[in-house]
Structure 1
């Protein structure tokens, strides 16, 4: 940004502009150790980024103009920043570095040459980067049609065109675009001049059109201004860029600019109705002209989040006992304007130009692996929200005859069990059942394998499914191992009351004592795949040879999200998985097979002491039981 008299006099009066002298070790005026401007010793060629990791970092450097200000500058802070980027390239997975303009103060050839020398360290190590002209780097009164300049001689496209990320530029040389691969996909970055011409805006649109499925970040020097609270707004020139390029370019989801201070941000909706994050970052008003402060954008596509932090590599490189009072305050900036997280659903945000194809349904033949003894799915073509009729039979697609029928708990209506089109993205059948149940209070009872009896002031509510009498599954003991899988979604309000604690996704009817198990709690169900009172997944069973329950515990699950749960028993031990990942609390105690009393399995009902005391609340999708252990690569979600 151009110096106003008040800003310039403040910086001079505070000693932050000048010959590069700062206090060190408590001695005023002591010179800081000189940094190596040519790069660190050693070979950094192996320090490349990981293009497939879902976590990667974009490094951003705003206005460094006071570091290259005639005879008053100091290149060492910028050298420290660039060396830090190289030293942490692999650790932070830094895929690209963007400078936001105002590299130097007076657009002087000597200033630009000095800054260009510092940037040679990135050139030598082929670190992808971009630069753009700010108003202090060129003749600010003209557009990018201003013609030749010392800036172009040093930082023109001839410099970055040697890098693998370079995509192309405008004929005038003041605008470029860059591509890099991160999180397994291509990203695009536009680096636009201080004052791009109308022709340049046409060029930018053509670049985006040529990369229609590529998300884009726009960098320029002047786009947004902000106040001391961090609230930002578009500048006059920013409104031109918004109206002429950004609003109608859905690919642009993030813009970065310097020029103004203090840092700030805003979110605007583009013409497609999607968010564009507009950020200003600039530290030239701070100690030592900002000291080449570095803004790091840590993308995490697994978490749908960008974590932003701001640090000073130059100060970090100083011995802590030699940092003066001002330096100690600038090591990192942790206020909300400089350290924050942006939640972005990247799949949804990019859906308008790069939709992720939904996985199509898979028929039963695709998932009936050897040893499948039961496979239930709920894609019978019924309308969303309609009730499953009482007594309705859902066939076991394994061909083993383990069919399910609906049972309704006393006092519950048809809507307690409904058809739903909801499903996990990786579920073979694109359908599920919604169970609208709750637990009993004061002794509502249901006994004899799910056949109904009355009693109690408030019985369990809901409906469930039970295997038919004589189903082979009822007597199976699985002494050679097993795999049990289900897709589940908990409603957003599942924790609003205590009515849904300890509900079962799948359970084997009969108390432990019915199978000869008298240890622990002999009234507990023989086997249950449940949600605890804290909505953690739980597999609790009486194995064949043990007299007490063996329990595998998971973690508390998020509501309103589909997940896949699997229990794998290898004939000796059981392991619990969520979304294909092995969980922690799997016991080392032996657990061979499953005890049985020869009674039905229940889907969506929990029982204790032969009393069905809980109807499930939530969605249940495909369920498969296999009589052998399966690797995660063979799960239904794979």
Structure 2
């Protein structure tokens, strides 16, 4: 095996960072993460070398190892994993189990089926054989069973006894002799060789492991009952590829029709069966169910094929604590800690600690088994907590990539804006409800609004107006918050609806010579069926491949140049004709998706790397397109939403919803995707700290965000589409805000940018009074900046106190102000006191008959709220005394 290269390196991350996860969203909104689920900081903190357990922690314990569906590891071992890493996850998993069987006290390993993905591909069986041979060589016993991908005919109505056994590749790789050759106490198979049993020993007790195939016949179920009856005192673990399912919430266990067949035929009647294990359905869950004897049966589902890299090497470590009476599950990945450190991403987490990924089930083994094994006893209490030991082993020296956390949007404007955006369709621009034929979905970035076709235009004879609606639902990370939903699609009934772009816009003609990024949010309706909805399309660049230079092919020669849809196996498929149409098409595939869940899909074409990568909720899928770049399209043909386009006609409608969708003319990363949030810290205030405030405060920010000023000035505004904003410090009538009036001099202020519930960091700035230019005075007021008229307007002049020596000169004050004679009365109108405005004086508004012109002017200015200008106006007056009343 290639040497380990990611452990025993100095850690650049703190414990919390090591325990992080690619998309923190999954935990926040209750969705299953495609990448690893969040791990608590405490888990990552346990990175020290294993320590000896305290005597109180010792108990009778062993670990049952569970290998979930390995189909993608086998399929892509030779083409993807080995060239990229030097090994594949399946082989690394079994090698780790073999290396640590003694340390973790593992007496047995069980595989839940779907050993390979394509039953007819010999290379996949070679990869599976190579991996399981590690356990053979190490003498670590195991069982294997068939999943639906491991048999040539997986139809529900075809049972194991109906197979052409000589032609089944599974039996050529895992014949009955391989099962009976396991180093267990006892083993055997049924007539077909597809079912097997093993008796293994742990902690001084014996357990029966029973592995049943994909679709067990009545004959096989009878054999299973006979095996149990032949071992009447043995607690029994039943493994089959399908037993229980997982609900659309990604958490709740639900029963299945085939699981009910097993329950009624084998599990419930046999009190010995206390535990069932299965895969097949994507996710992790468990439940307890009461059997015919009134006792609990623990049922466990574990399947990670939809996680990053087809499962990222996760397996189950099921710890039996016979002393304390618990079954403890830990989901762990030896592949993550084995991978070269330079290849690690934020999706690579050694441990999954989310709901149903790490848990403990109380089982009083002695009481539970008393009815058939009254002598059952725990072994000697000499084992430490084994799952804790496994955690320490995996985390010891592990340095992972930094986690990527994604915040929920604060509002509709809480998104990134990207240069080169050719089209951006947002259903949330429309009111919720039926989108009637002829109605549109706006392109907020360009001129390619989508218009719903009339039924005649679409060619569907059965479509109804109500088949297309706008709903206030979407992926939690979509700031648009709305979806365009297509209902009642049925290819047999030719019922479908479609929206179309104009066909002659920039995005219609785009061939992407510099690559592209196409993002959307999709939901497959829970009513989806293979018969009605397989190979349907959500988003299509319509046209006909046979007319754009694509060589004739067996499939899809008259299909559209590019399309995003779903296969008969509920896999997302992106297919495109590259810039070199002679190469034909290139495809990228997801794993099987779960209906009823919104998913973010990003398609990123890198012309330099010649790749198109599909990301599902941020995780790159395993099967991506290579030797590609740009697109060849058909002139004049539009984009379609909601249906396919084949043989020059719309067909096969989407059964589900489409959220906001954006097309960018170059590849962009996750930090600029629609799932990323606006940078609310990117806020500027023009000339910050200049101590000057004009009539408005201006700056730049995120379009659609709200900028709020506080402190010495107040007010708020929305950032314009061009990214600029302006807050007036005067209202519509020209009255300055009270805060500014109070701020005569300088004062501290700050600006904060926010979108709904999210706010950025405050930007501080300093304000001071400034001359904002002339304020239109009352037309009856004289302009105080003009020279004073020496001729009094009142026949009774004010008698100023003369200054000795020169009646025309001002009084001999230090500051040149007019000062009354000692003992004189109050100053007359227009007098300025020392220490006030101008060179140290203050205004006083008195006189024999009321205010003088200066006083009236000042009062008018103050009344108008223009206190900012008062000091400058008065300070600029000539130092002569006006006596006008």
* Smaller-chain TM-score bracket: 0.3 to 0.5
* TM-score, with structure 1 as normaliser: 0.47
Whose Rg is larger? Answer: 2
* TM-score, with structure 2 as normaliser: 0.34
